[in-house]
Chains A and B, each alone.
Chain A
Amino acid sequence: MLLGSLPILLLVLAYLVLAANRHAVNPADKILPLPSSMAESMSALMFVPDQLSGQLVFWADTLASLQRLGIGLGISTLMALMVGLALGVLPPVRATFGPLVTGIAVIPPIALLPILFIALGLGETAKVALIVIGIAPVMIRDIAAHVASLPREQIIKAQTLGASSWQVMIRVALPQAMPRLLHALRLALGPAWVFLISAEAIASDVGLGYRIFLVRRYLSMDVIIPYVAWIAVLAIVMDVVLTVLSKRLFPWAHGENH
């Protein structure tokens, strides 16, 4: 922990030195703002209501982005669990829908963004849909592959214990898919953020990505840098929460061998 924070501290230090140098030459420099000007701009966004909308801009942005991300991740996770389980356990389902999922998974989601905007309008739906289309197929394929690779012996054993196909699904496959699902969700967080910021950058009126791309026009590095740092903090918190959750809920999947 201590060792890991060293490079980050060095990076911050390097930035401060460079920013101080630039400000020594030109006190009005906007490219590498000093922490003081960042704090000033950010406190205006955080604590002073916007004159037009009356909202606290920073918090409104955060809420809007997290809501889109949450709905997108939630829908994707649910889809991954249900479709992935069906694809993994039931060979006829895999034969029918496997190629479709693969087909969707290989399309670059950003290429679909215009279609989504045209079909679903510029509202929330298109942004959430982009996140879902971007991450759900990958998660589905991961869960399906994981479930399909459960040892054949386990399934036979369950059947000799009197388990029906339904019972094999909910008592053998589902619980063993759960830790994998959280893992898949963790890995999907990165792409989900990319799709969120992309959708917000192109058409939105609120959101972290929207704000960054808006103030870019004014070269407002004093807003962009704190926003990016804030996104990093949010992403790290989500990652840690998912890891802790997985260890707490599924200790059997994390225990080291005897």
Chain B
Amino acid sequence: MNTLLSFKDVWVEYGDRIVIEKLTLDIEAGSFVSIVGPSGAGKSSFLRLILGQEAPTQGEILMDGTPLRAECGPDRGIVFQRYSVFPHLSALRNTMLGMECEKSPIATRLFGARRRAAREEAVEMLKAVGLGDSLDLYPAQMSGGMQQRLAIAQALVKRPRILLLDEPFGALDPGIRADMHTLIRRLWSDYGLTIVMVTHDIREAFSLGTRVLALDKRRHDPHAPHRFGATAVYDLPLKDRIVHIPDERVSITID
């Protein structure tokens, strides 16, 4: 396994408040890393670092050995808990947007053969997430689960090096959440994805991940609680998980 992403002594500080301290870890290509931890323990900051939305105060983050640029780019896909899809575009157009942005910088529209190719690829991806019959629906006409499926398809169409999931299933019903778990496991193995998922659900973290990272503050100063940052307090590899991938394709239901 080769290292995709490595954190080298990373610190994140806002003013005199330290959020993340001394974080050093490697994320291997093809792994499914679950991030857990209490609120305010830097889970979101960690995700924002990978996303490039913010830069570390100290230390550096390497992607494939080169320093990560502190801006959001198409090599990192993201699915948020909410607002990940564009309400003014149909499922198909939502999925095509990424390709249109890349191939048509000014007009952001494709025509002719290139449009057909983009459409085909988008349809393929929507079928893979189980939205093959909902191409022309707008997000407002979809359930929460369908919207998250769409958000995943939208990100995957760009073939990101790393897929970030920010509590992606937090707002879903338990039954639908189980379907989504099956789906994300399948996509992860089918497309050889590297996934970093932040979650509040410990069971979800362990059942999906090949590795669970717990972020928390190692030390606590009651007089100055903001002066100690969080770091990875537990780093649990779950080896046997990699081999056992339940093939439950048939049980995928459209909610």
Chain A interface (Cβ within 8 Å of chain B)?
151, 153-154, 156-164, 166-167, 170-172, 175-176, 250-253, 255-258
Contact = CB atoms under 8 A, between A and B. Distances in A.
Contacts, number: 93
10 contacts: A154-B83, A162-B98, A162-B101, A162-B102, A162-B158, A252-B88, A252-B90, A255-B138, A257-B140, A258-B143
Given A176-B87, A255-B138, A255-B141, 13 more contacts: A151-B83, A153-B84, A156-B51, A157-B151, A158-B97, A160-B160, A161-B97, A161-B154, A162-B73, A164-B105, A176-B88, A251-B138, A252-B90
Contacts of B74: 160-162
Interface of B: 51, 53, 71-74, 76-78, 80, 82-90, 97-98, 100-102, 105-106, 108, 138-143, 151, 154-155, 158, 160
Give the residue among B80, B98, B101, B142 with the most A Cβ atoms within 10 A. Answer: B101
A143 to B, nearest CB: 15
Nearest to B100: A171
Contacts of B87: 176, 252-253
B71 A159 contact: yes
A111 B141 CA distance: 48
A157 B78 contact: yes
Contact of A166 (B106, B138, B140): B106
Contacts of A157: 78, 80, 83-86, 151, 154-155
Give the residue among B72, B76, B105, B158 with the most A Cβ atoms within 10 A. Answer: B72
A93 to B, nearest CB: 20
Contact of B138 (A153, A159, A162, A252): A252
A163 B101 contact: yes
Contacts of A153: 80, 82-84
A164 B80 contact: no
